[in-house]
Structure formats: C-alpha cells, structure tokens
Structure 1
Amino acid sequence: MTSPILLIEDNPMDVDLTRRAFIRHNLNNPLQVARDGQEALDFIEKWETGEAIPVVILLDLKLPKVSGLEVLRVIRAHPDFGTIAVVILTSSAEDRDIHEAYSLGANSYIVKPVDFDKFIEVARQIELYWTVLNIAGPPRHG
C-alpha cells in the first residue's frame, strides 16, 4: 500500500486545489486532511495505534485551535514520528515564520501560490522531490 500524504490545511479552497493538483500529476499517495492543528495532532494517536504513517506532511502555519508551528514542534519531539518529512505550505512569507519553521525542523518551506497553474507546479515539485530526488531513511517501526 502506498503511504499517505497528510495535508494540514484549514482553507477548503486550498484543500481542493491540492487534491486537484495531485490528481493532475497522478500522485498515487492517498491524501489525508486535517482541518486544524488539533485534528493534526490527533493523527499522532492514530499512528501510534497502527494507522499508516504519512510519507510527507504538508503543513499550513496559520491554523485554528493549534498553530502549525506548535504542530511541527510536537511532531519533531515525538520519538517515533519526529523524522517524518514536513513541508511548510503556507501563505506566510514572513522571515520570522520561515526562521522558526526551519529552527523547529521543517524540511522545506513553500509559500502558497495564488494562481492554480503555479499551484500545479508546486505540486509537481513536491512529487518530484519526494518520489525521485529524496533518499528515504530507514523504515520506521510503530
């Protein structure tokens, strides 16, 4: 079974854009969605009970309930899931957010494009990176 991609995004239009972009590029990974920071943290319990661990997490920073930076902090501190690849996919281009995301262990930081064609290109780059260029670490047990 192909590992899922977890999209943590509260904007329904961005969720739809991401789905359409991945479909357009025939990405075979199932897309799971958490619509706020607490829902994202709830996935950790699911992974601890055997649900498939995502190959990559696409994380928005501006989330209701729990911020994206706090979600990143919790994931990175987890002994079993701290090495999951996390790509920040957000509208914030603020230096403070970029610096903090990388200091907390983000693998990449992408500012969301507003144009669908540019969004498609971002999806293609994510697919290319995670399926072709990225060298996977050792298998995780859990």
Structure 2
Amino acid sequence: MKMNRPYIVSVEDSRTDIELMRRVVEKEMKDCEIKYLEDGESAIQFFESSEFITHPPKCILMDIKLPKMNGLEVLNYLRNKKQIKNVPVIILSSSERPEEIKETYLLGGNSYITKPKNYLDLKEKLPKVISYWTEYNR
C-alpha cells in the first residue's frame, strides 16, 4: 500500500470472499487499494497503529462473524476511540438477522449490507458501495 494514497480496509475471514473481492477490485476498480485483515484482533492491532491513526482509510468493510473478536465488538471498539471514530464502517455480512442489523446501527455503524450471493452480484454491488463511501460521501 502506498503511503498517503486513499485506501479502504476489509476485515474478512473467508478466503473465498477475500479472493472474490480481490478479483472485483482488480478488474473493476483499478485505483482502489484495499488492506485485508482476517480477524478481529488483527483489525484492532492495525486500528491502534500509527499508520492507521495518521492515514486512516476512507472506509472499513467488516464481516460480523470473525474469529477472535466479532465485527460488532470491533465496531464498538472503533466508536469508542475518539481519534478514529469518524471512519465509516460498513458491515458486509451474510447474516440478515434483524438483531444484528439493529445492533450495528446502535453501535454507530454507517451501513449494513448483506453479502452478495455470487461473483456477478459482488461485481455489480461492491464498486457501488465502495465508490459511495470513497467518492461521494463527505
């Protein structure tokens, strides 16, 4: 990742989902850089790093079902850290459970999106989601 260039963070433990996301980004979003983190603990470690504090991402895409620390716990951590609480967090989860959606918004999540079911759906939706949060949202 190049310093000072805009980027996003994806916190996702599914190798398949990461690989599909990589393919979409490489083919459809050539100027987008994504830093991938595979569990809640490594996400927290990165969010505490000077790299993150001095050069925060444009947004964070986060799964709920993560090892070591789930996505809602990570979201709660982010929203309680003054210097980083303004980074938009988008929950991207296969779950459609109403209580998880409600909890996301109660904890300060910016958006809750159900994961696309296949590559074509991901190819259509992911660029729209990322461009909204990186280009249009102020």
- Alignment TM-score, normalising by the size of structure 1: 0.88
2:53/2:83 contact within 8 Å kept? no
Task: Please point out which of 52, 58, 62 is paired with 1:55.
Answer: 58
Structure (1 or 2) with the greater helix fraction:
2
Distance in structure 2 (CA, Å) of the matches to 1:19 and 1:47: 25
Aligned CA RMSD, in angstroms, stands at: 1.6
1:98-129 per-position Cα deviation (integer Å, ceiling 9, x unaligned): 00001111111110012101011121211331
User: Using a 3 Å threshold, how does the CA distance of structure 1 residues 55 and 131 change in structure 2: closer, same or farther?
Assistant: closer
Residue type matched to 1:53 in 2?
Answer: P
- C-alpha separation between the residues in 2 aligned to 1:96 and 1:29? 32
Corresponding position of 1:30: 33
- 3-state DSSP of counterpart to 2:18: helix
Q: Which residue of 2 aligns with 1:99?
A: 102
Contact 1:34-1:40 at 8 Å conserved across structures: yes
Report the counterpart of residue 129 of structure 2 in structure 1: 126
Asked whether the equivalents of residues 37 and 63 of structure 1 are also in contact (C-alpha less than 8 Å), the reply is yes
Moved segments of 4+, more than 6 Å: none
Aligned length in residues: 135
Shift in Å, 1:29: 2.9
Identity %: 36
* Structure 2 unaligned residues grouped into runs of 5+: none
